[in-house]
Amino acid sequence: MRKIISLICLLLPIAVYADELQLQENAPQRYVVVKGDTLWDISAMFFKDPWKWPQIWGYNKDTIADPHWIYPGNVVYLDPNTHTLKVGEPVPENGEVPSVTESNIASDSGVTKLEPRARVLKGRGEAIEMISLKDIGPFLARPLVVDDDELEGAPELVGTYEQRQLLGTDDVAYASNMTSDQGISWQVYRPGQTFKDPETGEMLGHEVIYLGDATVEKFDTITSLRITHAVLEIHKGDRFAQAVTGFSANYLPHAPSKFISARVISIYGGVDQAGQNSVITLNKGHRDGLENGNVLALYQKGEVLRNPNIFKSNIILPDVRYGLVFVFRVFDKVSYALVMQTRLPVQLLDRASTPE
């Protein structure tokens, strides 16, 4: 009996660990990083849950502040002892292993002659990204959601030079309610759809349509601005928001600190379904405990099997987990997330929850 208990105690941590980190069936033993790779992609080559960053790379999730910096040419390999990923030395451009120089060979006397060598340190800008910025970059630097108070107090385009109806790049615009302490760089937007919570009916905010950029030429009661970049036609009644600067583009993927159960309330672009690398909007935000870098699992509502016996209740099947999303921008009541993995189309009102 004592032997059986000892065996259970020995195998229990292994079973729990195996449940946390499941290897891909075709996981390679090593991989050479190339330009364009992301840390998420590399993690997904080896493990089924690439978002479990601290375990996969052998970090302490309580102390790590930034992900390990990995560069093109580095060798990523699976440590057979810890079942975590490690990073080796860069592979030479010719693919050959460097030969030992005479200066590093031990002499007959047993003394090894060493010579100093220059060491090149790469800057952080050369490191590979956590996730691809091509999909989320435009959403990080633009206004996306405003509430009623922000909309009411936002500077408004009240006039145009020569009373033009539509403005484009290099045209002059006039705005009210704009003060000099807010800087000279602004973005032009127009209120779009209003987000409402599908469960409570609460107004969550207004999604805005980005129109372009403008620079102040002269502050006054009516401020003069020059449109420096226009992606859509601009006209009277449009609003201004301060240009976003200094945003972070490298997030550490992790599960929320508390249980989150959100709904997909919008798919960017006005479509009804989304696939991989699409951007979706969730009805949860800062006030609910969401933060940048949170990873949520996507669930489709379970089917209802009607019972032929009218005196018995129908059978409701469990919700089906079918994908993962990466939260990259969080507002007070809503959040934007990138669909990282999916085997089914993402649909409105699907559930996005803390992975189970």
Q: What is the mean pLDDT of the chain?
A: 84
Residue 125: CB atoms within 10 A of its CB come to 5
CATH T-level assignment (fold) for domain 261-353? Thrombin, subunit H (2.40.10)
The band of 333, judged by pLDDT with boundaries at 50, 70 and 90, is very high
- Contact, 189 vs 211, CB < 8 A? yes
Cα 224 from Cα 216, distance rounded (Å) = 6
**Per-residue pLDDT averaged across 214-224, rounded?**
96
Using DSSP's 3-state secondary structure scheme, residue 277 falls into coil
pLDDT digits (tens, 9 = 90+) for 195-215: 999 999 999 999 999 999 999
Q: Where are the domains of the chain?
A: 2-87, 139-242, 261-353
Q: Under a CB-based contact definition with an 8 Å cutoff, are residues 78 and 54 in contact?
A: no
Q: Which residues pair with 305 in a beta bridge?
A: 315
Beta-carbon contacts of residue 247 (< 8 Å; ≥ 6 apart):
140, 141
Q: Which residue has the tokens 């052998």?
A: 58
Q: Provide the pLDDT confidence category of residue 190 given band limits of 50, 70 and 90.
A: very high
Across 311-334, average pLDDT: 91
Instruction: Give the per-residue pLDDT at 106.
Output: 52
Q: Which two tokens stand for residue 165?
A: 């109806």
**What is the pLDDT, as a whole number, of residue 102?**
42
Whole-number percent of the chain with pLDDT over 70: 80
Residue 18 pLDDT: 42
Q: What share of the chain is helix, strand, coil (3-state, %, to 5)?
A: 15, 35, 50
What does the pLDDT look like over 54-94, one tens digit per residue? 888 887 666 666 666 788 999 999 988 888 998 876 555 55
Over residues 1-36, the pLDDT tens digits come to 444 434 434 333 333 344 467 898 888 989 999 998
Q: What is the pTM of this model?
A: 0.79
Digit-coded pLDDT (tens) for 130-171: 888 888 888 988 889 999 999 999 999 999 998 899 999 999
User: In this predicted structure, what is the pLDDT of residue 63?
Assistant: 62
Q: Collapsing DSSP states into helix, strand and coil, what is residue 336?
A: strand
d(Cα 303, Cα 319) in Å, to the nearest integer? 8
Tell me what pLDDT residue 111 has. Answer: 65
